Amino acid sequence: MQTVPELFVDNLIPTTHFACDLKRCKGACCTMPGHRGAPLLDAEVQDIEKVLPIVQSYLSSDHLKVIEREGFLQGRPGDYSTHCVDDRACVFVVWEQGIARCAFEKAFFEGKIEWRKPLSCHLFPIRIDGGRTERLRFEYLSACEPALEQGEKEDVLLVDFVRDALIRAYGEKWYREFVHYCESKREIQSV
């Protein structure tokens, strides 16, 4: 791990190419097996509560039943996540032609809400691990192989792919410094 202003960065992040290929992965990051869905920041719980009536209009009856029965989140302060349907799909997944899509993002792009989606989803496949110093790490998911291939093919770096999410998390100034850091890491590795 190398440090970048105020956090540690996984050495894979500066050099990895990545560009989602939903036609091939089918939105696998939204349907990972497990009992927990998307990690949520404490402040995001209120954001979700505000837009829930709008976002629910996109959800299937199965997903609405889970929210009605169990709520949309689980956990405790500092460790919240969304619920899952059948221990797989996030409760906010919308299925379109066999592809899992985010109901928040759908509403956001249709101009119905101003909040795009949980930061953990926006940043994926980068994860933020807490601690004394935050750590950015690349989370490999075999279902994302098409995204790695697409990123190579289109020459899209991971740091560019998640640009908006990194700016959302750390600010424009930090992002510019981070890009410079990543460029220097790539230069060192190419020597």
Same domain for 93 and 139?
A: no
* Residue 120 included in any domain: no
Same domain for 104 and 75?
A: yes
Its domain, for residue 101, covers 34-115
User: In angstroms, rounded to a whole number, what is the distance separating the alpha carbons of residues 24 and 20?
Assistant: 9
Last residue of one domain, picked from the residues 67, 87, 115: 115
Task: List, for residues 2-60, the tens digit of each pLDDT value.
Answer: 545 578 899 999 999 999 999 999 999 999 998 899 999 999 999 999 999 999 999 99
Q: pTM for the complete prediction?
A: 0.90
Last residue of one domain, picked from the residues 88, 115, 142: 115
Of 110, 132, 142, 106, give the one whose Cα is nearest residue 121: 106
Query: Side chain identity at 156, as an amino acid letter?
Result: V
* Residue 24 included in any domain: no
Task: List, for residues 59-95, the tens digit of each pLDDT value.
Answer: 999 999 999 999 999 999 999 999 999 999 999 999 9
DSSP helix/strand/coil, 115: coil
Same domain for 130 and 110?
A: no
Query: Side chain identity at 39, as an amino acid letter?
Result: P
Which residues are 40's β-sheet partners?
80
How many domains does the chain contain in total? 2
Last residue of one domain, picked from the residues 62, 83, 115: 115
